[in-house]
């Protein structure tokens, strides 16, 4: 039952606010009646909530996740580097933690311009999440080194995506937004997360931003490697 409940919660992709029960059942590969019973329990525990167009992740899930010690430790160590990256690049700066099961990126911390519109901010977070996800998959197990399909980038409005991808840097571009991501490493073979920066096209000087990002990621990685609480990962 626990495994099935977790499979329902994992159906939500980044930036998907709500999903209908039928889609949850399809993605979790279970009968709709079974999904209905599990969803009822998750609603009772407030791990899921009912929205206008379906079901969405509940606030209790967020509160529980916020108590994860490694997330707080990662944020505490990387915060100075994120703030400096924001000042140097004039872009939004983000820290992501790697999900050890599938290599996906979970947002841990961010520093951004408050005067950006909600749409601009949403696009910057979206493309940064996908850039971080690519760098994490690149450093993951061979089975996780897959190209990201179009559905992941649906939040970008279907615009043509340009991608530059190598071991130490991922760059994603659309007509309006650019994002860069670099890995946070506990060792040459152990990735704990990613550092990313994004901004509307034209605000970010990509060559300089890449240099600042890679320097920040390297310095943050060294700081993380000196943190005993993060020594055993995952």
CATH code: domain of residue 163: 3.30.450.40
CATH code, 50? 1.10.10.10
Is there a single domain that holds both residue 60 and residue 85?
no
Q: Which of 112, 113, 91, 82 is nearest to 178 (CA)?
A: 91
Is there a single domain that holds both residue 139 and residue 200?
yes
pLDDT digit string (tens) for the chain, length 234 residues: 788 898 999 888 766 789 999 999 999 999 999 999 999 999 999 999 999 889 999 988 888 877 777 788 888 999 999 999 999 998 999 999 987 656 678 888 998 877 666 777 788 888 898 899 888 888 764 434 444 433 333 444 444 445 566 678 999 988 888 999 999 998 888 889 999 999 988 888 889 999 999 999 999 999 999 887 776 666
Please state the pTM of the whole predicted model. 0.74
Q: Residue 61: is it exposed, middle or buried by C-beta count within 10 angstroms (0-12/13-18/19+)? A: middle
The predicted pLDDT at position 143 comes to 38
Is there a single domain that holds both residue 118 and residue 196?
yes
Is there a single domain that holds both residue 136 and residue 188?
yes
Is there a single domain that holds both residue 160 and residue 197?
yes
- The residue out of 23, 49, 64 marking a domain boundary is 64
Is there a single domain that holds both residue 78 and residue 183?
yes
Q: Are 193 and 184 in contact (CB under 8 A)?
A: yes
Is there a single domain that holds both residue 128 and residue 57?
no
The predicted pLDDT at position 80 comes to 96
**Helix, strand, coil distribution of the chain in percent, nearest 5:** 50, 25, 30
Q: For helices 21-28 and 32-44, give the axis angle rounded to 10 degrees.
A: 110
Range of the domain at 39: 2-64
Q: For helices 21-28 and 2-9, give the axis angle rounded to 10 degrees.
A: 120
Is there a single domain that holds both residue 146 and residue 217?
yes
The predicted pLDDT at position 67 comes to 77
* Strand, helix or coil for residue 121: helix
- Number of folded domains that form the chain: 2
- The residue out of 46, 64, 82 marking a domain boundary is 64
């Amino acid at each position: 039952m626990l495994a099935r409940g977790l499979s329902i919660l994992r159906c939500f992709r980044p930036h998907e606010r709500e999903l209908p029960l039928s889609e949850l059942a399809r993605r979790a590969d279970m009968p709709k009646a079974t999904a209905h019973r599990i969803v009822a329990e998750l609603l009772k525990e407030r791990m899921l909530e009912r929205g206008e167009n379906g079901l969405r992740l509940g606030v209790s899930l967020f509160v529980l996740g916020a108590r994860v010690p490694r997330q707080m430790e990662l944020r505490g160590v990387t915060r100075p580097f994120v703030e400096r990256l924001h000042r140097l690049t004039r872009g939004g700066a983000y820290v992501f933690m790697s999900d050890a099961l599938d290599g996906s990126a979970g947002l841990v911390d961010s520093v951004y311009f408050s005067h950006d519109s909600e749409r601009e901010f949403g696009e910057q977070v979206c493309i940064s999440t996908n850039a971080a996800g690519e760098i994490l998959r690149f450093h993951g197990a061979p089975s996780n080194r897959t190209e990201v399909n179009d559905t992941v980038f649906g939040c970008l409005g279907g615009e043509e995506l340009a991608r530059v991808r190598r071991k130490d840097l991922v760059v994603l571009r659309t007509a309006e937004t650019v994002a860069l991501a670099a890995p946070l490493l506990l060792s040459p073979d152990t990735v704990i997360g990613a550092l990313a920066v994004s901004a509307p096209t034209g605000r970010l000087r990509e060559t300089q931003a890449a240099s600042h990002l890679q320097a920040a990621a390297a310095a943050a990685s060294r700081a993380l490697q000196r943190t005993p609480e993060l020594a055993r990962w995952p």
